């Protein structure tokens, strides 16, 4: 048993370093490394509760949209549903780090389902995001969700990026590229190409089937329970959730303490962001359980150059 635990610890440490965690003699980082076997333990009960809450809110908001005769109630329910789907992408993020459940199969299946309402492929996010972890602060950094300073230059640029108006054309262009054999470098292995292609085809079937059901008159309700929550609210909320993570930091430096931001916040925002407000901590130790990042923060916060006392303060730092 002890040997197995030691292998888990070594494996976790190697995984962190492969994803860009700096080797350091810093006493606090070394202390955290010693704690890794405990910090990376998956709390299955907690994860099951999070999934149950997500599903409960999902079903409740859809039912409310379908049954309500009030425009105000309908719009509010659509807003909450869009926010929930943005939160779902943060749960997908937890899945891709194998931190939601111990099973890789469960993480991939749930990760795919969390991303489906907003056409986000789990495998694309997975491999591109791990590449981001490894190369953040370098010219090779590329993330599936790109946030550039130019998107804040003027109101038009902000609207285009915040609402991700190119989302569907970009999805279809990417799928066409895959079908023609054109893949980003992160998909060099054949099994990775198969995984992402299968998911894109499934999402394309979802998109095509949904649009056909709407246009044919078979299920016009999909406009109210899918397209509006996703395109009017979900994309914007997801943009705002991830906006403070790196934007406004010095991304020309590879040091995570310089190129990434952390902020404290209230329980509601922490829930919506799924703990990613502690983003420096997450980049240093990507497999640490989300609910344990606050403890890591307390050990390293004196070294973090970009941190804020609230979400609003973090956004102000980005915009300043």
pLDDT of 259 higher than 90: yes
User: Comparing 102-111, 135-144, 190-199, 204-213, which segment has the lowest mean pLDDT?
Assistant: 135-144
Give the torsion sign (CA, 290, 294, 295, 300).
positive
The dihedral formed by the CA atoms of 259, 101, 36 and 286, expressed in degrees to the nearest 10:
-10
Instruction: Please indicate, yes or no, whether the overall pTM of this predicted structure exceeds 0.85.
Output: yes
Q: Are 283 and 256 in contact (CB under 8 A)?
A: yes
Residue pLDDT, tens place only, 184-237: 999 999 999 999 999 999 999 999 999 999 999 999 999 999 999 999 999 999
Tell me how far apart the alpha carbons of residues 99 and 281 are, in angstroms, rounded to a whole number. Answer: 14
| Those residues with Cβ within 8 angstroms of residue 222's Cβ, 6 or more apart along the chain or in another chain | 210, 213, 214
> Does the structure show a pLDDT above 80 at 20?
no
Contact between 94 and 110 under an 8 Å Cβ cutoff? The reply is no
Query: H-helix or E-strand containing 262?
Result: strand 262-263
Tokens at 287, concatenated: 């497999």
Residue with tokens 């972890």: 133
Determine the pLDDT at residue 22. 52
How many Cβ atoms from other residues are within 10 Å of residue 19's Cβ?
21
pLDDT (mean) for 266-270: 97
Per-residue pLDDT, 151: 84
Q: Is the pLDDT of residue 3 over 80?
A: no
């Amino acid at each position: 048993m002890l040997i197995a635990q030691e292998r888990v610890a070594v494996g976790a440490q190697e995984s962190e370093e492969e994803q860009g965690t700096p080797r350091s003699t810093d006493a606090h980082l070394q202390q955290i490394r010693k704690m890794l076997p405990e910090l990376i333990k998956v709390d299955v009960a907690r994860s099951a509760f999070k999934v149950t809450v997500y599903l409960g809110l999902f079903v409740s908001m859809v039912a409310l949209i379908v049954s309500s005769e009030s425009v105000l109630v309908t719009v509010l329910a659509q807003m909450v549903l869009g926010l929930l789907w943005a939160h779902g992408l943060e749960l997908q993020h937890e899945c891709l780090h194998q931190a939601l459940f111990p099973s890789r199969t469960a993480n991939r299946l749930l990760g795919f389902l969390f991303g489906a309402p907003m056409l986000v492929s789990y495998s694309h996010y997975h491999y591109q995001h791990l590449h981001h972890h490894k190369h953040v602060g370098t010219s090779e950094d590329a993330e599936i969700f790109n946030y550039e300073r130019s998107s804040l230059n003027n109101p038009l640029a902000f609207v285009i990026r915040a609402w991700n108006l190119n989302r569907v054309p970009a999805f279809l262009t990417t799928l066409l590229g895959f079908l023609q054999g054109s893949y980003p470098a992160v998909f060099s292995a054949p099994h990775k190409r198969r995984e992402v292609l299968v998911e894109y085809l499934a999402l394309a079937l979802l998109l095509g089937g949904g649009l056909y059901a709407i246009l044919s008159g078979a299920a016009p309700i999909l406009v109210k329970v899918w397209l509006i929550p996703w395109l009017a609210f979900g994309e914007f909320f997801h943009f705002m959730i991830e906006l403070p993570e790196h934007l406004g930091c010095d991304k020309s430096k590879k040091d995570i303490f310089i190129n990434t931001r952390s902020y404290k916040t209230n329980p509601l925002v922490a829930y919506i962001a799924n703990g990613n407000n502690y983003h420096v901590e997450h980049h240093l130790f990507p497999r640490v359980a989300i609910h344990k990042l606050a403890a890591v923060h307390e050990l390293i916060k004196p070294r973090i150059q970009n941190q804020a006392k609230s979400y609003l303060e973090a956004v102000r730092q980005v915009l300043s």
